[in-house]
Amino acid sequence: MRRPAPATVAVCLGILVLVDILRIWLPGIITIFGQAASTPAELMGAFALLWFLLPMATPALVRRTGPRPIASIAVVVLAAARLALTSTPGGQLQLYLASVGLLAGLVWLAATAATTVRPGPGLVLGLALGAAMHTALDTYDLVWRGDRLAWLVSAVLAVLLVAAQLAVPAPETAADTRTGSGVGNSRTWLLAGPTLLLTGMVALSPALAGSAVSYQFADNTRIAQPAYLADLPQGTLVGLAVALFVLTALARPDRGARWMAPLALIVGVGVFTAGSPRLWGYAMGLAALGAGLCLALTATTAPPVEAAVGIASMPPPALRGGAVDPAGTVDSAGTVDSAGTRRSFAALAGMLVFVVAAIAYYAAYDLGYPNWWVPLVVAGLVAVVALRDTTAVTGSWWSMFSAQPHERLTARLLAGLTLLAAVVVPGHLREPALDHAPGPVRLVAYNIRMGFGLDGRFDLPGLVDVIARQRPDVVVLSEVDRGWLLNGGHDTLELLARRLDLPYRFAPAADPVWGDAVLTRLPIRHSQTLPLPRVGAPTGAQALAVTLDLDGREVVVVSTHLQPPPDDGPVVQARAVARFATGYAAGRPLVVAGDMNTEPGEPAFAEFTNAGLVDALAAARPLPTSPANAPRQQIDHVFVSPDMVPSDASTTRSTASDHLPVAVTLTVG
């Protein structure tokens, strides 16, 4: 009787938990170790690389002592670290717990690779289930929620992971080690890290899907807004991408797939890097199809049915009685031979590609070099590895969708995943009816640091509380992240907008998923954005102008986040924003707000007052806003035209970000 192989289940759950750990560890590099950008990018990169280099000693240790005890100990540490992170208060403890969990996960991966020659099914299902769970949770992961449900699900996952690992048979008797090529399947293990990067950044990212939809329904290609016309496109996009990924990765490949795989992957990643978010839905589908096909091509030497779904079957007669795997996995003493060691090194090398590429891509926003080539290089690497030695591929391209028993099982799984992603995910905001009473407008300006508080935790409740406490009509946000894998793959804007019940306009700065936003309960009549000159600052900047209807009168709100060049103030950008704002307003009441990175009396601050604008916070000065735990810098500002009367300016103490919000009431004179 056929049954799912324990090794497949263990790999699936291990990958699922390891990805979950990475969604905690990666942001910690920036928010905790990086200390709000005060740590050099080179040092942060070295720290990150260190944790991926430490496990490189694992293959030698596994070869000497055997893989089973190492994998078992490592998986217990991995599960325990993941559980502990659910209750950690953040800070250094969170960073080092996540680092220990990451190290344990990489050691487990290396030990598992030494004896698992058919990792494809477990790897694919682990990545697919992780994407489906991330989508179902609306990108707000369990570890940040910390409620009873988070504890329950995390505990169940931890217990299942440990149980699955302990249920894996000893290497010398495991059915999973009796077929397939140890050398050939080193390629599958090598692709684990690059595939994790490409699926997390592009192919299976629900945050990217949500951003794509919000751009799709916008009038301006540089401005995103809630998708009023569709409730479920984000989940649908992810569901379709998951379906393509799993179906192609687990199906039997053929000669047609040999060239279809790299072409689809590279084109999909190329569409993503081209910078047009309206095409990202196509990018996700192509990248998912290509990544799945590439993984399938690396497993062509295994029997098609068993290799496709990780089925344990009776070993060939020549191998019964505990004989050694002819492909080379373990010897008669149960220790790993050269083929197992190669697979172990391949798995770690793939994860090293993951971290190096992630560092290279996101460090560009600090160091100022172009980064579009990084995902393309990784996609090219995946394509080269997949195309190497695929002489066993036969047949025509449509044969990979033939009605084999394992494909019917896969179809049921795909239907469930697609339904979960498309139905569970909440819909996007719809335009609400005007509920602003005639009179003054309460405005809040807040740099939210991608949603992460000073303790390094993704503090969605803290952000919602500090903003909602002001009962704002207009919210101006800086440092809004809508999908960076480095920050955990959250769509912070959608999460906040839904909880505040405020539609938004979003404008990209660093890239299409990182920038500034205006949220408001007032009707939005028009919006426009202006990219600002970089003047030596690596992170891009922009000015987003939104025309609002206030009691039948048009009012303009401009959101910006100035980026000062090294050792200088943001004078050039301030001048550009002042000119743009006053020109766009054309005599209408005007508000310019955001993180200006300049203090009262400095040249950049004077650019706004010289343009005829008034400091709306003047009556409450000094009003320091940064850093949030000991504010001493006045760098978050609100400027208004002379026909607007400010009152009740204030800040609210909170550590939900590294800045404090500023709030002010505005009355049109």
Can you list the domains of the chain with their CATH numbers? Answer: 3-424 (1.20.1250), 441-668 (3.60.10.10)
Answer yes or no: are the C-beta atoms of 164 and 10 closer than 8 Å: yes
* 62-94 CB burial, b ≥16 within 10 A, e <16: bbeebbbebbeebbbbbbbbbbbbbebebeeeb
> 643: which DSSP letter?
T
Q: How far apart are CA 125 and CA 572, in angstroms?
A: 50
Residue 463, Cβ neighbours under 10 Å: how many? 26
> Edge-to-edge, what's the strand order for the sheet holding 474-481?
504-511, 514-520, 474-481, 441-447, 662-668, 644-651
Distance separating alpha carbons of residues 589 and 641, to the nearest angstrom: 6
DSSP label at 664?
A: E
Q: What span, in angstroms and rounded, lies between the C-alpha atoms of 572 and 400? A: 58
DSSP-assigned letters across all residues of 225-237: ---TT-SSHHHHH
Q: Is 475 in contact with 446 (CB distance < 8 Å)?
A: yes
Residues 327/117, Cβ–Cβ less than 8 Å: yes
How many other C-beta atoms lie within 10 A of the C-beta of residue 36? 17
Instruction: Report whether 177 contacts 335 (CB < 8 A).
Output: no
Residues of the chain with pLDDT under 70: 1-4, 36-37, 171-184, 227-232, 253-257, 300-337, 389-438
Q: What is the pTM of this model?
A: 0.89
Whether residue 277 contacts residue 89, with contact meaning beta carbons closer than 8 Å, is answered with: no
**What does the alpha-carbon distance between residue 298 and residue 307 come to, in Å, rounded to a whole number?**
11
Angle at 157 between CA 88 and CA 133, to 5 degrees: 90
Q: How many CA within 13 A on the CB side of residue 169?
A: 13
Coil vs helix vs strand at 623: coil
Give the per-residue pLDDT at 568.
85
Q: Are strands 614-615 and 644-651 parallel, antiparallel or unpaired?
A: unpaired
Cα–Cα distance, 430 to 441 (Å, whole number):
22
pLDDT of residue 412: 54
Query: What is the C-alpha to C-alpha distance for residues 251 and 404, in angstroms, rounded to an integer?
Result: 9
DSSP 305-373: HHHHHTEE-PPPGGGTTTPPPTTSSB-TTS-B-HHHHHHHHHHHHHHHHHHHHHHHHHHHHHH----TH
Task: Give the model's pLDDT for residue 220.
Answer: 78
Residue 507: closest CA among 523, 527, 535, 487 = 527
The residue among 414, 16, 11 whose CA lies nearest residue 246 is 414
Give the pLDDT score at 257: 65
How far does CA 593 lie from the centroid of its chain? 28
Instruction: Give pLDDT, residue 479.
Output: 96
pLDDT value at position 218?
78
* Residues in a beta bridge with 595: 561, 636
* Number of other residues whose CB lies within 10 A of the CB of residue 53: 12
**d(C-alpha 663, C-alpha 650), whole Å:** 5
Single out the residue of 592, 609, 591, 612 nearest to residue 600, CA to CA. Answer: 609
What does DSSP say about strands 614-615 and 590-595: parallel, antiparallel, or unpaired? Answer: unpaired
